[in-house]
């Protein structure tokens, strides 16, 4: 198993892409910290699913936009489970509105969770990262390079994630820590439920050469690759996992 005896922290892992990554990591032998902000029951369901399949996981609550929560969680990870080998920054929120309708609150909420939350997670994880190095994976989006109407602010947060990825890769490379991002395409998750309906969904599907929308497991497979030694010479990259879609 490619992640045997590794400790992985996956933020925003109670559902969707995060849950898919957590399950895939556990199937590859990792002990997984399933972070959640509010969905305790969903996070515990992910843990039970992992344990039923013979894996190891624990649910930990923290609002990734709040520094005190992030510090508390990573202190608990260190105390209970030891050194971190893999961090996945997946926690995020999207408010899809035209610019004229975006409030300051919606703007700050997206940047605080998507960007500040990822930064805080990296900062705290580094205090307890494996001395031999490891992997940090930031979940970006196809929208970081191909935003569409009503996605401007969300897309900007993912553009910031891409830039942060490049900077961290240069800064942390000497410690043996690889930093990469995944840019998922149009993926079926609870957060996107209903977004692909009607003519708009048909347009998105027509732009996807492999002929279907993505599933969390599709993204999880890319995450496993980036977390494992199979990608030992890859850092500072944003890898598209889109079924060939380039954006509308």
Q: By the 8 A CB rule, do 21 and 11 touch?
A: no
Residues with catalytic annotation?
154
How far are the Cα atoms of 33, 116, 223 from residue 94, in angstroms, in the given order? 23, 14, 21
Quickly tell me which residue has 């991002």 as its tokens. Answer: 181
The CA distance from 175 to 129, in Å, is 10
Task: Give me the residues paired with residue 35 across strands.
Answer: 60
The CA distance from 127 to 208, in Å, is 41
Quickly tell me which residue has 């009607």 as its tokens. Answer: 198
Q: Where are the beta strands (DSSP E) in the chain?
A: 7-10, 31-36, 56-61, 86-89, 134-139, 177-184, 238-241
In a 3-state reduction of DSSP, which class is residue 96? Answer: coil
The CA distance from 209 to 24, in Å, is 25
């Amino acid at each position: 198993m490619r992640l045997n005896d590794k400790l992985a922290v996956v933020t925003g892992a109670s559902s969707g892409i995060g849950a898919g990554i957590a399950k895939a990591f556990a199937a590859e032998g990792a002990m997984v910290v399933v972070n959640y902000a509010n969905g305790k029951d969903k996070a515990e369901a992910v843990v039970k699913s992992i344990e039923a399949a013979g894996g190891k996981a624990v649910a930990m609550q923290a609002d990734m936009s709040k520094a005190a929560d992030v510090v508390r969680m990573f202190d608990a990870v260190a105390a209970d489970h030891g050194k971190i080998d893999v961090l996945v920054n997946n926690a995020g929120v999207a408010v899809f509105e035209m610019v004229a309708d975006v409030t300051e609150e919606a703007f700050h909420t997206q940047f605080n969770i998507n960007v500040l939350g990822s930064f805080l997670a990296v900062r705290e994880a580094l205090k307890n990262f494996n001395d031999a190095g490891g992997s940090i994976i930031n979940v970006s989006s196809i929208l970081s390079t191909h935003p569409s109407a009503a996605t401007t602010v969300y897309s900007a947060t993912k553009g910031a994630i891409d830039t942060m990825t490049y900077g961290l890769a240069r800064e942390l490379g000497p410690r043996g820590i690889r930093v990469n991002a995944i840019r998922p395409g149009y993926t079926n998750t609870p957060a996107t439920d209903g977004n692909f309906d009607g003519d708009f969904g048909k347009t998105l599907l027509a732009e996807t050469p492999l002929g279907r929308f993505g599933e969390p497991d599709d993204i999880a497979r890319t995450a496993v690759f980036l977390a494992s030694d199979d990608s030992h010479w890859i850092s500072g990259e944003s890898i598209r996992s889109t079924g060939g879609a380039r954006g509308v």
